[in-house]
């Protein structure tokens, strides 16, 4: 499959001018491949699928149909951003599916991490399939495959790709960024006019908050996790850490401890903050977050988030801890 090999002559896309040249070339190639047919894309709001969507909107406009499946495990504001950017600003043909209840009902009582991942992955495919079946005249399936996905497609990453779609779909594939590295996808995304926060966002696992709401997910604990995570992100943004720290998030375990609030006993969950730096996610070091900032975040989370009564900072590098908790 020689078209899956990046030619040595291909320059690394590092500047807006190089991105523009790539975009022009891709627009021509996409129009030639797609003609007047329709293309379907699972748009998660992650960097890769967003850049593919923006490229296709430019190339074929309303011939692209984007499907955004909200599995109920998105971070705060993520689905809203997809609707705002793609549905409103870029006027895309966007189908929004709120499947939160389906996912959360299936996950109820399931504590085993790999089982949770499998349920989320399988249900995602099911929901997407159902939406695809409602559409008529789709000839192509677009995917945000990037070059590392091709290099790593030896099975190691299989469980990582929740957005991975069934192989028996009867569509021809459209993969405009498959020869690009992540940093190049970002430069292209900026050149396409996508919001900086969307293009430079930190990696987010496909199963989303599902692997951070540890053990069996409940709606109240998931809600607390989402709110605490949003406060962490807001504070990292405000304090200049957002662009510096590779990945940061909150995990909330399925356990309570005793606390005291307004003079009364207050049992709550702990919010565990993780903030790590890495280049390849194989090893990671812990960010040296200023203690005063950790205190401020603790104050905010414990006072603003219902159900949380302690905040912990995870000091564990990888190895021995993985980046995610499950
Ligand atoms: P770990 O926890 O293995 O994480 O140190 C390494 C990187 O992979 C991400 N991660 C996932 N991404 N689906 C994904 O799409 C998954 O199931 C998954 N598990 C971990 C993790 O966030 C980190 O960036």
- With a 6 A CB cut-off, is 153 part of the ligand 1 pocket? no
Domain assignment present for 318: no
Same domain assignment for residues 242 and 176:
no
Domain assignment present for 121: yes
Contacts of 279 (CB under 8 A, 6+ apart): none
Best residue among 281, 283, 317 to mutate for probing ligand 1's pocket (most ligand atoms within 8 Å of CB) is 281
Same domain assignment for residues 167 and 69:
yes
CATH of the domain at 253: 3.30.300.10
Across the range 285-314, mean pLDDT stands at 98
- With a 6 A CB cut-off, is 20 part of the ligand 1 pocket? no
Best residue among 145, 160, 248, 272 to mutate for probing ligand 1's pocket (most ligand atoms within 8 Å of CB) is 160
Q: How far is the CA of 123 from the centre of ligand 1 (A)?
A: 19
Domain assignment present for 321: no
Among 172, 255, 261, 244, smallest CA distance to 214 is for 255
DSSP state for residue 185 in the 8-state scheme: H
pLDDT band at residue 42 using 50, 70 and 90 as cut-offs: very high
- With a 6 A CB cut-off, is 207 part of the ligand 1 pocket? yes
Best residue among 247, 251, 323, 325 to mutate for probing ligand 1's pocket (most ligand atoms within 8 Å of CB) is 323
Q: Provide the pLDDT for residue 5.
A: 93
Could you give the CA distance from residue 110 to residue 99 in angstroms, rounded to a whole number? 18
Average pLDDT, the chain: 94
Same domain assignment for residues 24 and 169:
yes
Q: Provide the pLDDT for residue 89.
A: 97
On the CB side of 178, CA atoms within 13 Å amount to 16
Q: Provide the pLDDT for residue 162.
A: 53
What is the three-state SS of 43-63? CCCCHHHHHHHHHHHHHHHHH
pTM: 0.92
Q: How far is the CA of 126 from the centre of ligand 1 (A)?
A: 22
For the segment 188-215, what is each residue's pLDDT rounded down to a tens digit?
Answer: 999 999 999 999 999 999 999 999 999 9
* More confident site: 155 or 189: 189
Are the beta carbons of 38 and 179 closer than 8 angstroms? no
Give, using CA atoms, the residue closest to atom 12 of ligand 1. Answer: 205
* More confident site: 251 or 161: 251
For the segment 101-150, what is each residue's pLDDT rounded down to a tens digit?
Answer: 999 999 999 999 999 999 999 999 999 999 999 999 999 999 999 999 89
Across the range 277-295, mean pLDDT stands at 96
Domain boundary among 199, 222, 239: 199
CATH of the domain at 100: 3.40.50.620
Same domain assignment for residues 263 and 284:
yes
Domain assignment present for 179: yes
Domain assignment present for 169: yes
Domain boundary among 171, 199, 227: 199
- The crossing angle, in degrees rounded to 10, of helices 113-134 and 100-107 is 150
Same domain assignment for residues 36 and 180:
yes
Q: Provide the pLDDT for residue 280.
A: 87
Looking up tokens 């989402």, which residue turns up? 226
- With a 6 A CB cut-off, is 206 part of the ligand 1 pocket? yes
- Residue 284 CA: nearest ligand 1 atom is 5
- With a 6 A CB cut-off, is 314 part of the ligand 1 pocket? no
Could you give the CA distance from residue 132 to residue 100 in angstroms, rounded to a whole number? 18
Domain boundary among 177, 199, 221: 199
Same domain assignment for residues 222 and 271:
yes
Q: Provide the pLDDT for residue 158.
A: 43
Q: How far is the CA of 254 from the centre of ligand 1 (A)?
A: 20
Give, using CA atoms, the residue closest to atom 16 of ligand 1. Answer: 160
Q: What percent of the chain has pLDDT over 70?
A: 94
Same domain assignment for residues 63 and 130:
yes
Same domain assignment for residues 113 and 140:
yes
Same domain assignment for residues 110 and 60:
yes
Give, using CA atoms, the residue closest to atom 7 of ligand 1. Answer: 281
Q: Is the pLDDT of residue 1 over 60?
A: no
For the segment 68-80, what is each residue's pLDDT rounded down to a tens digit?
Answer: 999 999 999 999 9
Same domain assignment for residues 80 and 186:
yes
Domain assignment present for 204: no
Domain assignment present for 319: no
Domain assignment present for 205: no
If one counts the domains in the chain, the total is 2
- With a 6 A CB cut-off, is 281 part of the ligand 1 pocket? yes
- With a 6 A CB cut-off, is 160 part of the ligand 1 pocket? yes
- With a 6 A CB cut-off, is 274 part of the ligand 1 pocket? no
Could you give the CA distance from residue 78 to residue 45 in angstroms, rounded to a whole number? 7
Q: How far is the CA of 135 from the centre of ligand 1 (A)?
A: 32
Same domain assignment for residues 43 and 112:
yes
Q: Provide the pLDDT for residue 160.
A: 46
Range of the domain at 28: 16-199
Give, using CA atoms, the residue closest to atom 10 of ligand 1. Answer: 205
Q: How far is the CA of 74 from the centre of ligand 1 (A)?
A: 15
Same domain assignment for residues 86 and 144:
yes
Q: Provide the pLDDT for residue 165.
A: 60
- With a 6 A CB cut-off, is 205 part of the ligand 1 pocket? yes
pLDDT band at residue 155 using 50, 70 and 90 as cut-offs: very low
Across the range 52-63, mean pLDDT stands at 98
């Amino acid at each position: 499959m020689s078209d899956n090999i990046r030619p040595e002559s291909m320059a690394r896309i590092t500047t807006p001018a190089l991105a523009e040249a790539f975009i022009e070339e891709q627009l021509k190639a996409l129009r030639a491949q797609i003609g007047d047919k329709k293309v379907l894309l699972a748009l998660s709001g992650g960097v890769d699928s967003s850049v593919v969507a923006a490229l296709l909107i430019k190339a074929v406009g309303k011939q692209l149909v984007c499907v955004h499946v909200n599995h109920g495990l998105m971070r705060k504001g993520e689905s809203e951003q997809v609707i705002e950017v793609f549905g409103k600003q870029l006027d895309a043909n966007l189908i929004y599916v709120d499947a939160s209840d389906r996912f959360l009902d299936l996950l109820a009582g399931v504590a085993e991490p790999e089982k949770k991942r499998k349920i989320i992955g399988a249900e995602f495919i099911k929901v997407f399939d159902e939406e695809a079946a409602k559409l008529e005249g789709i000839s192509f399936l677009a995917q945000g495959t990037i070059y590392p996905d091709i290099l790593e497609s030896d099975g190691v990453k299989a469980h990582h790709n929740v957005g991975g779609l069934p192989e028996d779909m009867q569509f021809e594939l459209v993969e405009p960024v498959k020869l690009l590295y992540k940093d190049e996808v970002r430069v292209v995304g900026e050149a396409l006019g996508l919001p900086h926060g969307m293009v430079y966002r930190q990696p987010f696992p496909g199963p989303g908050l599902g692997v951070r709401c540890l053990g069996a997910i409940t709606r109240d604990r998931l809600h607390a996790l989402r709110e605490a995570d949003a406060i962490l992100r807001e504070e990292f943004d405000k304090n200049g850490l957002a662009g510096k720290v590779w990945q940061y998030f909150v995990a909330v375990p399925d356990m309570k401890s005793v606390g005291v609030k307004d003079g009364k006993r207050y049992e709550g969950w702990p919010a565990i903050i993780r903030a790590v730096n890495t280049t390849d996610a194989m090893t990671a070091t812990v960010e040296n977050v200023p203690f005063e900032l950790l205190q401020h975040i603790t104050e905010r989370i414990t006072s603003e988030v219902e159900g949380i009564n302690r905040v912990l900072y995870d000091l564990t590098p990888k190895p021995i801890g993985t980046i995610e908790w499950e």
